[in-house]
Structure formats: C-alpha cells, structure tokens
Amino acid sequence: MTWRGIVPRQSLTSLAEPFAGSAGFLQIVGKKKNFWVMDSGKDLLAWTGTALHPTLEKSPSVLETLLQMFDQWPPLVEYLIRATDPDAIVETGVFDREPVSQWGDGSRMTLLGDAAHPMRPSLGLGTTMAFQDGVVLAKVLKGIDLDDEEQLGAALYSYEQERIAITSPLQRQARQQGTASHADDRADSLKAGIEAALAARRQVSPQHQ
C-alpha cells in the first residue's frame, strides 16, 4: 500500500531545514517499510510512505492507519503525517501483472501505458513507458490506410512486439525492486550501496584534482 501527501514547508519549521535553499530528498527505511520526503517547490514538501498491507481495501481512517503503520518512527514522519490534511492524503494499492504476449485483438484494437503493461512504481518508469508507447504507435500508424484491416492489424502487431520486448523485462525488474524495497535487510543493503558509492568516488576524485 502507498500513501502520499503534501505539506506547507512553514508548518515544519526547523524540521524542514535539510530542504532549505535547494532541492532535497530524504529516505527512511525499516521494518519492511519506506518513507520518503521530497522538496516539492518553494513552499511545499511532499512525502510518500509504503508498507506491506494485509488488504487492498482503503482504510476507514487513513490518518489512524498511517500513525499506527509508522508508530515509533523518527519524529519527522509523525510531524509530516499530522501536518497533512487527512482528506488530502492519497491512499492507493500497488498493482502489476505478468507480461503478456499480445495487447490487442490482432485487428483494430490495442492498448498502451498501464492498461497494457502495469508495473510497480519502484523504477519510476510508468509514465515514461506510456509516452514511449505513444511515440511508437504514432510511428507505425503513420501513412497507413486505417480502413484496411489487414494493414492496420500488421501495424498494431509491429507496435506491440517492439514495445513488449522493452516493457516485459521492466515489469519484472520493477516487481523485483518493489519486493526488495520491503525486505528485512533493506537498510543494510542501502548502507552497503552508499558506502560502495562513496568508496568509488574517493578513488575517482584524486584523478580530477
């Protein structure tokens, strides 16, 4: 399950200092949960929380659910949740499906975007894939006779095969990333990744001095 909200920066006073003056990003992980805080402009901070949830039904009280879900987390998390208008908190389930070999009827109908290849948001590519679908679809339809069912079907088939080859592995990768982001060792794996990146930077830096 995913929850999202936006709060005025001024409502957090000194807690918003890490985001003052430039774009900022903070991620807190633990207990198979994630909480992100992002600079969302001059006067706003956006946050997102994710957690495994026993049901995809929306909560009777999203505020109570969030406070219970992130109980005993760093104070910033509770401040952000309480500073958000409960009616403005967006609560959604996360859905995907196995890739399929065909999106349309083989004749005059096809799909694009999440309708064709729903994927978890862990790669941040959902919108990008939809735009790319549209570009390829426009390319294959350019100059063909839309009243010619055989020609149209061949064009749509070409579009589907080109895009399925790209989106199918990304659907699987997004699922793997989404599962990994709620693993027990998520904090340890993030720490190891940061340490490796810092070590690599230290090795590269002397060459540029």
Q: For position 46, what pLDDT does the model report?
A: 92
Domain with CATH 3.30.9.30 in the chain: 2-92
What are the average pLDDT values for consecutive 10-residue runs of the chain, which has 209 residues? 87 58 73 88 87 77 92 91 92 90 93 95 92 97 94 96 97 91 78 81 67
CATH class of 96-209: alpha beta
Q: Is beta strand 2-8 parallel, antiparallel or unpaired with respect to 33-39?
A: unpaired
Domain with CATH 3.50.50.60 in the chain: 96-209
Decide if 116 contacts 167 (C-beta within 8 A): yes
Q: Is the pTM of this model over 0.85?
A: no
Out of 3.40.50.10440, 3.40.50.1980, 3.30.9.30, 3.40.50.11540, which CATH number does the structure's domain 2-92 have? Answer: 3.30.9.30
Which run of H or E residues covers position 4?
A: strand 2-8
Q: For position 49, what pLDDT does the model report?
A: 94
Q: For position 125, what pLDDT does the model report?
A: 92
Q: For position 64, what pLDDT does the model report?
A: 92
Please report where in the chains the tokens 């409960």 appear, as a residue. Answer: 86
Q: For position 100, what pLDDT does the model report?
A: 96
